Amino acid sequence: MLVLDTEDLPAADRIEAFHAAAVGESGSCTVEQEHPEAGIRKKLEVWTFGPLTLFSTRGSGMRVRRTPRHARFDSMNTVSIITQSEGTGAFTWNGHQQHVGPDGLALAHKTAGYEYAWSGTGLSVAYMVDTERLGLPEEQIRSAIPLLHHSAVAPLLLHHIRALHHRADQLSADPGAEALASATLELTRALIVSVAAGESTRRQVAEDTLLTRVLAYIRAHLTDPGLTPHRIAAAHNISVRTLYRLCEQGGLGLEKWIVRRRLEGARHDLAAPEHAHRTIEAIARSWGFTNPAYFSRRFRQTYGATPREWRRLHRLPHVARDVRPRRPV
């Protein structure tokens, strides 16, 4: 949901308006603009997924500073995961400094204070949640801050965040938004304990979050036609039999779940204007469907229309709204 676009405001009002929006949405902080004399450009969007708040900030360079003193001025005790989709961010905490590019992320604990900045034009996507929701000691959270680059969970969480942001308007309004928040929190817990907890805690959290990590891994590799149960199991050091049992205990069929997620991706692309120049076969192949006939059959079984009919009907909104999935795959 769009909170602020400074293009809609007089130049003289933009800095104050952005600062007010940033404080209002995420709590007390100091915001310094890179070149205030040249004017600023900022677009701030915010979405709610149950207890989790997702932020997207796009525009000219700036520095956000949160100190323990800031934390005393509001009631928020939060943990944030910060990513940089465009440009390169700079994260600083307690002497630790790191660059955050498109392949990285940073962990921030508000009451501990931190700085985050980028120069030039950038896009930062982050989420924030109350610290108590993680169920982890605050010292453990803070000790993980400089160690995230050692975690094998970090790429999974990064891909998950990008997927949430890509379809945030739709997903935040979906009945499954709470479940998405729970999955995000589980991945966050797994990320922290993977680098900052003792062996017994790591083992317990790894066991508790195994299904979440498996599904995150599958989402990250959905477009790969070589994604197989054997590959998924090997990536998590479990047997294929254990993988199937894990999915059954979670109430889902592995192959059906993968096909449904791929179909959802293909359906989105078939209707998206930016993919109008691509053939149906190319879109299907980009989502891991190597057999056009199989793709068309499963698409029609699921959505009640062929891929070609869906693409045509979607351009007629009054008709497309009547097309609904026939039954779960």
Q: Taking residues 109-128, what's their average pLDDT?
A: 94
Q: Taking residues 71-76, what's their average pLDDT?
A: 71
In this model, does residue 319 exceed pLDDT 90?
no
- What is the rounded radius of gyration, in angstroms, for the C-alpha atoms of the chain? 22
Q: Taking residues 113-133, what's their average pLDDT?
A: 94
Query: Which residues have C-beta within 8 Å of that of residue 195, sequence separation ≥ 6?
Result: 144, 147, 148, 150, 151
Q: Taking residues 123-141, what's their average pLDDT?
A: 93
Residue whose token pair is 């691509």: 278
User: Which pLDDT score is estimated for 318?
Assistant: 43
144: left (phi over 0), alpha (psi -120 to 50) or beta: alpha
As to burial, measured by CB atoms within 10 angstroms (0-12 exposed, 13-18 middle, 19+ buried), residue 156 is buried
The per-residue pLDDT of the chain, averaged, comes to: 89
Give CA–CA dist 225/240, Å, rounded. 18
Give CA–CA dist 192/252, Å, rounded. 27
Taking only the tens place, the pLDDT of each residue in 12-34 is 899 999 999 988 888 888 999 99
When pLDDT is cut at 50, 70 and 90, the band that residue 328 belongs to is very low
In this model, does residue 327 exceed pLDDT 70?
no
Taking only the tens place, the pLDDT of each residue in 145-174 is 999 999 999 999 999 999 999 989 988 988
Amino acid at 74: D
Partners of 6 in beta bridges: none
Ordered structural domains, the chain, with CATH: 2-220 (2.60.120.10), 266-320 (1.10.10)
Taking only the tens place, the pLDDT of each residue in 218-255 is 988 888 989 999 999 999 999 999 999 999 998 999 99
Longest dimension (CA), the chain: 63
Sheet strands (E) in the chain: 2-5, 30-33, 42-49, 52-59, 62-66, 78-86, 89-93, 96-100, 105-109, 114-118, 122-130
Nearest CA among 63, 70, 66 for reference residue 32: 63
When pLDDT is cut at 50, 70 and 90, the band that residue 201 belongs to is confident
In this model, does residue 289 exceed pLDDT 50?
yes
Residue 174 in tokens: 């979906």
pTM, entire model: 0.78
